[in-house]
Structure 1
Amino acid sequence: MSYNPFSLSGKVILVTGAAGGIGKATAKECSRLGATLILADINEKGLKETMELLDTSLNQIHHYCKVDFTKEQEIIDLVMGLPVLDGCVCNAGVMKLTLLQFVSVEEIERIQRINLIAPMLLTKYLVKKKRVAKGSSIVFTASAGGVFRVSIGNGIYATTKCGVDAFMRTAALELGAKGIRCNSVNPGMVLTNLINCGQFTEEELEKELRNYPLGRYGTPEDIAYAIVYLLSDASSWMTGTALKLDGGMTLS
């Protein structure tokens, strides 16, 4: 086999939110680089579709679990059924644009529970139940929105992603002594169902695109490649970093 510092061969990796978008692309690329995958999402149909895309050329046996990440007990049950992991991608998330005068407690709590509380609890139980190996890597999907810029109507989502970023850095500090690395990816606009579900009009998307010096929105694969880097031994001296992936959008 040719030399590849980004190889994930022999690693066991959990990917949440794996039924579509960034999670699906990440699972696919990780399997191609040799990892054995455990996929988790509430969307079982999407999980099965992702499973069909996974590489098994190195005799990996992949698994999936249907999990409602709004429920702590289901997170505990997921963790208790896991082998010891070499990597975890906390990617499950939701988004809804709401102007501040229309924000409701119900929406705040729903989005916060999935985007912020779930990865915090998952990390807690992975560590507490000793399901992450020394030298492992935990990657959180945060966002350029909130962490590096703000936009109209995005207050709830941006707030959760700022929380993810702060939690990631705290976890990196606390878990460094255990040899566990924690980093985040912070995408700009990525062409996934989160933005293709009617929340943006074609005119709004065309207008926003002018803010991207590279002239295009991101793809799920763009983010997946960065996640692969953070999971691999190529980033073994990297922890507590929020990796911005935005096509240059935040330059101005």
Structure 2
Amino acid sequence: MNIVLIAEDEILELEFLTILVQDMLLPEDKLVTCENGVQAIQLAKQYKPNIIFMDIMIPEMDGLSAIQEIRKFLPNSCITIMSAYSEFSYAQKAVSLKVFEYLLKPVKPNVLKEIFQTMLKSATSDYSLVEEKPKEMSIDTKEDRQFFIEESVKFINEHFKEKLTLETVASKVYVNPKYYSHMFKKEMGVPFTEYINQLRIKYACRLLEITNYQAYRISYECGFSDPSYFNRVFCAKMNMTPQTYRRVKGTPQNCPDF
């Protein structure tokens, strides 16, 4: 038996969800609904739902706060968040609460049906959301992809001088590394490694112009762990060695603008 709780204060959204969910439930299953966070906690305590749909911006107590309380007594419930807000902090908080999915409104009926079917299968097989690692969230729309890429690019631009791997950045936006690699190339027009190398070589050019650092030190300053690899990448990008660049291109305006 499945017990589904929907917390949504927009009447049309609640009606839409209710019709969709009821159409997929069995006669012995139960559906309960509410319009604010306080009611959501009360109903969760009363009915102990194994599946929850929660809007973020609901009255009296926001959805994330309500989930935080519900997790104290229902740690294994499958919870999907629905939100009109794509702020990265919301997504981060959602993952920390081990939500099943984070959906941006408006949600297409076919997408919601697919998500609900997956939640039903997970609930039936007694799937536990208490994992050592946060669940990687799916990213279905172009707007979602652009948002997550923008957030990851901000992180890359701030940390490219450090040891930075595809897996590290993908984990920051909670997506599968292989999918993130494909998504990054599609949105940015260049592969992940190529983008980081562009940033590092541009910074290397700047250091060659304004410092007397040896090439091996510049390679480390730019985030390369291997000076030989740095030299190969630099030569491939600039068609000259770092030493030659310093000798003949030692003015800031000659630094490449990738």
TM-score interval, normalised by the smaller of the two chains: 0.3 to 0.5
Q: Which has the higher contact order (CA 8 A, sep 6+)?
A: 1
Give TM-score scaled by structure 1 length: 0.43
Larger Rg: 2
Give TM-score scaled by structure 2 length: 0.42
Structure with the largest fraction of helix: 2
Structure with the largest fraction of strand: 1
